[in-house]
Amino acid sequence: MMKTPDQQSPPASDDDVVGERVRIFDTTLRDGEQAPGFSMDRRAKLRMAQQLEALGVDVLEAGFPQASPDDFAAVAQIAGALKATTVCALARCQDGDIDSAARALQAARHSRIHLFLSTSPLHREHKLGMSKSQVLETAVRAIERARGLCHEVEFSAEDALRTEPDFLAEVFSAAVAAGASTLNAPDTVGYTTPTEIVELFEYLRRHIVGAERVVFSSHCHDDLGMAVANSLAAVSAGARQVECTINGIGERAGNAALEEVVMALKVRAPHFGVDTRIDTRQLYPTSRLLTELTGQAVPRNKAIVGANAFAHESGIHQHGMLKHRGTYEIMRPQDVGIAETKLVMGKHSGRAALRQRLQAMGHTPDDDALDDIFSRFKTLADHGRELHDEDLEALALGHDPHAGGPWQLVQLHASSHLGGSASASVKLAHDDGHEVGEAAIGDGPVDAVLRAIERATGTPLALTRFQIDALGEGADAQGHAQLSARHAARDWRGHGSSTDIVEAAALAALVIVNRIERQSTLNPLTDKRPSMAARTDAHGRAHKETTA
């Protein structure tokens, strides 16, 4: 449906334009989704869009409707579902693209068409085969057409950072006159630097006719690893919209990572003097949702949302953290939606952290006992292992946390049927000499084998996490299974490796079952341990681990 001028949102008011709020334009579902490995089906896109609205993004670029019928349908569905967020559709400066975008956005409460056209000499000559005046005319005609079909129009000068600044200012001035209310200067190939982008934005704000009536936007790619730095530099030079993606996904090396841009603006608020509307406590859940929907994990050391972002292993850092968290943390994990700081117990950890962790679990060894536990802990950790609470507890109780048994896997058979349930049977041998065979059906072969193990050992496991990673490449790669389960109000972890992923899962489950069984035969010391709830109340964050 065509929007008449009086139905259109007024162009950004002066207040909007000059205000100190930076709009967050999320393009996870367009620039992010078009990168290899990140495609999502329509349901996944809708789920992601709803989460992005909960996160508080101002504009959500939902797709490129002319690219495919599926993209069209995804944009239309998201346009109908979102309430407060402006829904945006990408379009080339071509009538067919603009009309598709407008149709897909029909149900949106706030709609934006995002037009783009290359302006750099390289693109003009080799991609478009257009002269400067043709580029200018094409942009103006497209903006005028789109203006009547949606609430607001954004114009992007593709490859802006490699465009002659005077020509860029000329195109942008014409775009303002034609009705664009947001001007985006993309660093399409991730080529610019912070100082260079500052110069460009300052130049544009001085030379564009009508600059005071529009919002300037940055859109940076990460080819040289500077997308976030360049976006922040653009903000310091007057950009009031940043285009970015969750986890920094996007074409080639990706786009500026939303969570990094937002947290830099928040943590360094006095430096930047601007704010966003993002509910930062939704950053981590949003990042996790994207990894689940795409199956692509973020690196451990990824800023803000990586598993190590709030983890400390070195003794010196842990010691500092225990005295004052500000020594090694510039933001609170809770501010980004992570439950707590993680003091990882590994080979770099010191006695102070070990004592604190053991105390959080209800163990109060005296100095001699702590020396003994610490030296056994170091021997294990020196083999490169990260030690979890159950390992530390076993050490405190004088056990070898990595001892095998009592159960061993003797035989395993699993089969699945297309469209039907799966079945599995296991034979297990116990250290006391007896063998047990059990079979079960389940929702897939892994589920079936876990049920068979539960039956055989009599140990119920409520699975809370199951992850399979390939170690290496090719058909003979080892599968590494990591399982977490609840049993008797506690969390238990186990892992196992095999070229057969069902066997890897079975081995991981047996590690858990064995730990539980060994724990249940421990000496009465264990009875002194407070319950999980008590530990949580008494010691807060210390005993629990963040899963990431």
Residue ranges at the known binding site for Mn(2+): 31, 219, 221, 255
What residue numbers does the annotated binding site cover?
31, 219, 221, 255
Supply the minimum distance, in Å, between the C-beta of residue 456 and ligand KIV: 55
The Cα 182–Cα 240 span in angstroms is 10
Say how far apart CA 84 and CA 93 lie, in whole Å: 27
By CB under 5 A, residue 31 contacts Zn ion? yes
Q: What's the min distance (Å) between Cβ of 276 and ligand KIV?
A: 20
Q: Which residue has the tokens 């170091």?
A: 378
Q: What is the closest distance, in whole angstroms, from the C-beta atom of residue 201 to ligand KIV in the complex?
A: 16
The pairing of strands 86-92 and 111-118 is parallel
Total chain residues near Zn ion (CB under 5 A): 1
Comparison of 221 and 515: residue with beta carbon closer to ligand KIV: 221
In this complex, which beta carbon is closest to ligand KIV, that of residue 145 or of residue 221?
A: 221
Q: Which of Zn ion, ligand KIV, none is residue 442 near (CB under 5 to 8 Å by kind)?
A: none
33 binds, among Zn ion, ligand KIV, none (CB under 5 to 8 A by kind): none
Residue 85 binds which one of ligand KIV, Zn ion, none, with CB within 5 to 8 A depending on kind? none
Closer by beta carbon to Zn ion, 159 or else 503 = 159
Task: Please name the residues in contact with 189: beta carbons below 8 A apart, sequence gap of 6 or more.
Answer: 159, 161, 162, 221, 223
Cis-peptide into 406, omega within 30 deg = yes
Residue 116 interacting entry, from ligand KIV, Zn ion, none, C-beta within 5 to 8 Å by type: ligand KIV
C-alpha 180/C-alpha 532 separation (Å) is 58
What number of residues does the chain have?
Answer: 548
302 binds, among ligand KIV, Zn ion, none (CB under 5 to 8 A by kind): none
**459 is in the binding site of which of ligand KIV, Zn ion, none (Cβ under 5 to 8 A by kind)?**
none
Minimum CB distance to ligand KIV, residue 31 (Å)? 5
Q: Considering the complex, what minimum distance in angstroms separates the CB of residue 187 from ligand KIV?
A: 7
- Taking the C-alpha atoms of residue 172 and residue 501, their distance in angstroms, rounded to an integer, is 56
The token duo for 392 is 């530390």
Bridge partners (DSSP) of residue 118 are: 158
What is the sign of the dihedral through the CA atoms of 347, 349, 350 and 352?
Answer: negative
**216: partner contacted, choices Zn ion, ligand KIV, none (Cβ within 5-8 A by kind):** none
Nearest to 236 by CA among 198, 269, 264: 198
In angstroms, give the least distance from the CB of 64 to ligand KIV.
Answer: 9
Structure tokens at 116: 């783009």
Measured in whole angstroms, the distance separating CA 322 from the mean position of its chain's CA atoms is 28
Question: Is the Cβ of residue 290 or residue 446 nearer to Zn ion in the bound state?
Answer: 290
Task: Find the distance separating the first CA and the last CA of the chain, reported in whole Å.
Answer: 45
For residue 469, the surrounding DSSP H or E stretch is: strand 462-471
CB of 225 to ligand KIV, least distance (A): 16
Nearer to Zn ion, 186 or 401 (CB): 186
- Distance separating alpha carbons of residues 236 and 230, to the nearest angstrom: 10
Q: Minimal CB distance to Zn ion: which residue?
A: 31
Strands (E), 227-358: 241-244, 311-312, 342-343
Instruction: Find the binding residues for Zn ion in span 410-439 (CB under 5 A).
Output: none
* Binding partner selected for residue 156 from ligand KIV, Zn ion, none, CB under the kind-specific 5 to 8 Å limit: ligand KIV
26: contact with Zn ion by CB under 5 A: no
Least distance CB 251 / Zn ion (angstroms):
6
Q: Which does 377 bind (CB under 5 to 8 A by kind): Zn ion, ligand KIV, none?
A: none
Q: Indicate the residue among 188 and 457 with the shorter CB distance to ligand KIV.
A: 188
By a kind-dependent CB cut-off of 5 to 8 A, residue 77 interacts, out of Zn ion, ligand KIV, none, with none
Strand 59-63 and strand 182-187: the pairing is unpaired
Q: Which is nearer to ligand KIV, 219 or 493 (CB)?
A: 219
Burial (Cβ within 10 Å: 0-12, 13-18, ≥19) of residue 223: middle
- Torsion angle of C-alpha atoms 490, 491, 496, 500, degrees rounded to 10: 100
Q: Give the binding range for Zn ion (CB under 5 A) out of 23-31, 260-268, 309-317, 436-444.
A: 23-31
**Residue 329, φ and ψ in degrees, nearest 5:** -130, 130
CA distance 331 to 444: 42
User: Min. distance of Cβ 315 from ligand KIV in angstroms?
Assistant: 45
In whole angstroms, the minimum distance from the beta carbon of 106 to ligand KIV comes to 22
Nearer to ligand KIV, 31 or 447 (CB): 31
Measured from the CB atom, the residue of 188 and 276 that comes closer to ligand KIV is: 188
User: Under the rule (CB under 6 A), what is the footprint of ligand KIV?
Assistant: 31, 116, 156, 158, 186, 188, 219, 221
- 3 state DSSP class of 272: helix
- Helices (H) and strands (E) counted in the chain, each on its own, are 19, 16
Cβ distance to ligand KIV smaller for residue 111 or 188? 188
Q: Quickly tell me which residue has 């942009």 as its tokens.
A: 139
- By CB under 5 A, tell whether 154 contacts Zn ion: no
Give contact residues for Zn ion (rule: CB under 5 A): 31
